[in-house]
Amino acid sequence: MSREIQIIRSACRMCHGVCQVLIHMEGDRVVKITGDPESPISRGYICPKGAASAELLYHPDRLTHPLRRAGKRGEGKWERITWDEALDEIAERFSKIKTESGSEYLAMSQGTGRPYSEFTMRFANAFGTPNFVAVGHVCYMPRVLSSQFTLGQLPVTDVYGFGGKDPECFVIWGCNITYGGGADGMCGGMIKRALKKAKRVIVIDPRRTKPAEKADHWLQIRPGTDGALALAMITTIIDEGLVDHDFVDNHTVGYEQLVEHVKGFTPEWAASITGLNAEEIRSAARTYATTSPACMLWGSAADASASCFQTARAQLILRALTGNIDNPGGDVLWVPPEEVRQRSIFMNPDQMGGHFLPPEKKNRVVTAGKIALEAFVHPPSFWNSVVTGDPYRVRGMWIVGSNPLLCHTHALTTEKALRDHLEFTVVSELFMTPTAELADIVLPAASWLETDDVANLHKIWCVLARKQVVQIGEARDNKEVMIQLAKRLGMHEAFPWKDYHGYLDWVLEPGGMSFEEICDRGLVAGHMRYYKYKENGFATPSGKFEIYSTLAEQMGLSPLPVYREPKLSPLSSPDVAEKYPLILSTGARTKVFFISEGRQIPSLRKANPDPLVEMHSDTARSLGIIDGDWVWIETPEDRIQMRARLFDGIAPNVVSAQHAWWFPEEGPPDYGWKRSNVNLLLGDAAGYDPETGSECLRSSLCKVYPVNAE
Ligand code: SF4
């Protein structure tokens, strides 16, 4: 006899797409997740990761209760403890570190942006530690920060049609969202729809993505050189008289200085750097400047480069020169709903600025003196400081939803820091991981199906309701855990709520909604208005769009965009390139995994069972490699194994290796994390972006050879 299925609307959080979905419940069990066809933000779209949410939810390896280390660190021996025991012990150890050494001797860490990002930063700030370790420097934050400097807020592709116009020209720059599913609060399904309607499509990507196959211009750029291309496109638009002077003359500062500044950055100059043809560059720039409205969907590719902040500034200036700022069908500044308290870290700079942090602690950030501009502590410098004690050795750490052994470069230093130097480490996770194995206490975290939430980290123009439908073991929402711990640590000012639902009520207070009411509505949108700058100007020191950034100038940075060649590249280090002739690009999004997640989910792993390195068939042939062979990828740092996947849509001198691979099925304590971890290949030699500390993850050098050739 078939049982009745109940449908609950929710918002998926298996990645940053935040698609609206339908949860199919049979009794108290989730049996299926499907896309919500009535959703204005995702229109029925769901990707394999979202569809596999129930597999993750009920996976037998889920952590279901708090654990305390029972053997030597990393030995894999654990004892079950209660939540109260865990929280009491954590509070006692954190307090001890603060009293004995100072609050900066505790570090907080999280992985990619999550619904609890606001809370982890709030917790770190309230505790008094500036050491918040995250990977924003290689993903998203260069775009967020450059936008804040240039026009006050991150512009977003206008694909929802609020203004009655669709983008006529669609630029996809270093982003493969229609394959990966979602990014930065946008879902791939919406982009597919917009691409179908656009008259012109420009794709800038070293790999021939699906949209590139049908694009009017596919610029197969050398990885890491996006800044040079952006500058040459600016030059072309100026030289050919394609500038939107109505916007530029009335709403920007610094145009005259820009004209002088870019004179040498011709398409010919950029061609010699990017590997593109000068005429291709001119032609794409013309298409972008003469097809209106035009939007630019930018991904994380250029974030992980030697001039990411400056590249993002150049990409913003391209939008300004063509008048594609806050116009229907262009790149717009979202208006958040007024009924809900705005707490996205991307909209509320107080969240990232250490609101609760005393001034003297702000100067105790571990940066090794390299970084002038970044919201978080620089991970390589941080891990090095723990190992060397220079400038001081952090003693304790709380890692929330992150697997730094897989997701940070300098993986062996990270391992040493966790294994030998940190005195007390807490990890909050869904599953045991190689990183969690090196902790002292492990806390079981709830997945998105196990939490009530008002989701507003990424979408900005709307917030979405997410309802807890299941409880697995004793897993808890990380936000609830932070409130409970904050109470024990006396952090009442930062966490004034009785409990987590008290917090949700506070978030919904401006509109007088209860949590049940927002669940009934599903989505609450802001009232979108375009061309807001005509009335209000921009949130910059001059009130204008700052082509010439006065803030950058004050910080001693170039106020106009510049390009820097990666330190390891065929142009800048020909001696290294002789031994390591291939450009190693990593970090391309996969269809089924979200960073280091999903390797234990059967349906996802079946679709991508082994770590893959893509290479051109000509290159493979010359190296004696056939499709599916296990190969070594070697850099001056180390070597790892992956399977070769032949793909003629990649340049013969570039290989693209999947990142964050580990093998949960191999069990504790190592889970095979050193075999195929691309971060073992990346170290100091590739250099850093001097403004943000970003790392050249897309453009290192390597060699590849068959495993069986030894
Ligand atoms: S794109 Fe992301 S948010 Fe959307 S269904 Fe897939 S995993 Fe979920």
User: Ligand 1 pocket: which of 12, 53, 177, 466 to mutate (most atoms <8 Å of CB)?
Assistant: 12
Tell me, using a 6 A CB cutoff, whether residue 180 lines ligand 1: no
3-state secondary structure of 514: coil
Least confident of 58-62, 139-143, 365-369, 510-514: 365-369
Whole-number average pLDDT of the chain: 93
Q: Cα(420) to centroid of ligand 1, in Å?
A: 38
Tell me, using a 6 A CB cutoff, whether residue 323 lines ligand 1: no
User: What's the CA angle centered on 138, arms 137 and 144, to 5 degrees?
Assistant: 60
Token representation of residue 265: 């950055």
Measured CA to CA, the distance from residue 47 to residue 53 in angstroms comes to 10
Token representation of residue 429: 């996770």
Closest CA to 251 of 309, 322, 300, 161: 322
Closest CA to 89 of 473, 420, 398, 503: 398
Q: Cα(122) to centroid of ligand 1, in Å?
A: 27
Render pLDDT for 238-250 as a digit per residue (tens, 0 to 9): 999 999 999 999 9
* DSSP strand pairing (29-35 vs 20-26): antiparallel
At 118, the pLDDT band (50, 70, 90 cuts) reads confident
Tell me, using a 6 A CB cutoff, whether residue 15 lines ligand 1: yes
Residue 44 has pLDDT above 90, yes or no: yes
Tell me, using a 6 A CB cutoff, whether residue 47 lines ligand 1: yes
Closest CA to 155 of 322, 21, 274, 377: 322
Of ligand 1's listed atoms, the one at least distance from the Cα of 42 is: 4
At 265, the pLDDT band (50, 70, 90 cuts) reads very high
Q: Is the CB of residue 366 less than 8 Å from the CB of residue 385?
A: yes
Distances (CA, A) of 539 to 333, 555, 692: 11, 18, 22
Tell me, using a 6 A CB cutoff, whether residue 115 lines ligand 1: no
Q: Cα(185) to centroid of ligand 1, in Å?
A: 10
Average pLDDT in the 642-670 region?
Answer: 97
* DSSP strand pairing (156-157 vs 169-173): unpaired
- For residues 626 and 141, the model is more confident at 626
Tell me, using a 6 A CB cutoff, whether residue 345 lines ligand 1: no
| Count of helix runs (H) and strand runs (E) in the chain | 27, 29
Q: Cα(226) to centroid of ligand 1, in Å?
A: 27
Residues 125-161: b if buried by 16+ CB within 10 A, e if exposed: bbbbbbbbbbbbbbbbbbbbbbbbbbbbbbbbbbbbe
Residue 555 pLDDT = 87
Instruction: Give, for 428, the enclosing helix (H) or strand (E).
Output: strand 424-429
Render pLDDT for 138-187 as a digit per residue (tens, 0 to 9): 888 899 889 989 999 899 999 998 999 999 999 999 999 988 888 888 89
Tell me, using a 6 A CB cutoff, whether residue 185 lines ligand 1: no
For 96, residues 6+ apart whose C-beta sits below 8 A from its C-beta are none
Q: Cα(212) to centroid of ligand 1, in Å?
A: 22
Residue 216 pLDDT = 98
Q: Is the CB of residue 328 less than 8 Å from the CB of residue 322?
A: no
Residue 181 pLDDT = 87
Sequential DSSP letters for 517-533 = HHHHH-EEE----S-TH
Q: Cα(93) to centroid of ligand 1, in Å?
A: 38
Bridge partners, residue 170, by sequence: 201, 295
Residue 367 pLDDT = 47
Residue 368 pLDDT = 40
User: What's the CA angle centered on 334, arms 328 and 335, to 5 degrees?
Assistant: 115
Residue 369 pLDDT = 43
Residue 362 has pLDDT above 80, yes or no: no
At 96, the pLDDT band (50, 70, 90 cuts) reads very high
Tell me, using a 6 A CB cutoff, whether residue 11 lines ligand 1: no
Phi, psi of 444 (to 5 degrees): -80, 125
Q: Cα(257) to centroid of ligand 1, in Å?
A: 43
Residue 504 has pLDDT above 80, yes or no: yes
Residue 352 pLDDT = 56
Of ligand 1's listed atoms, the one at least distance from the Cα of 48 is: 6
* pTM for the predicted model, two decimal places: 0.95
Tell me, using a 6 A CB cutoff, whether residue 14 lines ligand 1: yes
Q: Is the CB of residue 62 less than 8 Å from the CB of residue 472?
A: yes
Tell me, using a 6 A CB cutoff, whether residue 50 lines ligand 1: yes
Token representation of residue 568: 């390891």
Residue 356 has pLDDT above 90, yes or no: no
3-state secondary structure of 562: coil
DSSP single-letter state for residue 444: E
- Is the Cα dihedral 222, 225, 227, 232 positive or negative? negative
Q: Cα(180) to centroid of ligand 1, in Å?
A: 9
Measured CA to CA, the distance from residue 134 to residue 108 in angstroms comes to 9
If you take atom 8 of ligand 1, which residue's CA is the nearest one? 50
Tell me, using a 6 A CB cutoff, whether residue 182 lines ligand 1: yes
Tell me, using a 6 A CB cutoff, whether residue 191 lines ligand 1: no
Of ligand 1's listed atoms, the one at least distance from the Cα of 180 is: 1
At 127, the pLDDT band (50, 70, 90 cuts) reads very high
At 417, the pLDDT band (50, 70, 90 cuts) reads very high
Neighbours of 578 (CB within 10 A): 10
Render pLDDT for 303-349 as a digit per residue (tens, 0 to 9): 999 999 999 999 999 999 999 999 999 999 999 999 998 766 666 65
Of ligand 1's listed atoms, the one at least distance from the Cα of 46 is: 5
In 317-415, beta strands by DSSP E: 331-332, 396-400
User: What's the CA angle centered on 323, arms 540 and 155, to 5 degrees?
Assistant: 50
Least confident of 61-70, 361-370, 527-536, 618-627: 361-370
Token representation of residue 14: 């298996």
Tell me, using a 6 A CB cutoff, whether residue 458 lines ligand 1: no
Tell me, using a 6 A CB cutoff, whether residue 329 lines ligand 1: no
User: Ligand 1 pocket: which of 9, 10, 13, 15 to mutate (most atoms <8 Å of CB)?
Assistant: 15
User: Ligand 1 pocket: which of 13, 23, 47 to mutate (most atoms <8 Å of CB)?
Assistant: 47
Sequential DSSP letters for 36-55 = -TT-TTTTT---HHHHTHHH
Q: Cα(379) to centroid of ligand 1, in Å?
A: 27
Tell me, using a 6 A CB cutoff, whether residue 592 lines ligand 1: no
Q: Cα(186) to centroid of ligand 1, in Å?
A: 9
Average pLDDT in the 265-272 region?
Answer: 98
Tell me, using a 6 A CB cutoff, whether residue 144 lines ligand 1: no
3-state secondary structure of 709: helix
Tell me, using a 6 A CB cutoff, whether residue 336 lines ligand 1: no
Torsion of CA 592, 593, 597, 602, to 10 degrees: 30
Residue 1 pLDDT = 54
Measured CA to CA, the distance from residue 419 to residue 414 in angstroms comes to 9
Bridge partners, residue 69, by sequence: 78
Q: Residue 695, by phi and psi: left (phi above 0), alpha (psi -120 to 50) or beta?
A: beta
Tell me, using a 6 A CB cutoff, whether residue 12 lines ligand 1: yes
Tell me, using a 6 A CB cutoff, whether residue 41 lines ligand 1: no
Of ligand 1's listed atoms, the one at least distance from the Cα of 594 is: 7
Of ligand 1's listed atoms, the one at least distance from the Cα of 13 is: 3
Tell me, using a 6 A CB cutoff, whether residue 17 lines ligand 1: yes
Measured CA to CA, the distance from residue 528 to residue 546 in angstroms comes to 23
At 638, the pLDDT band (50, 70, 90 cuts) reads very high
272 alpha-carbon distance from chain centroid: 30
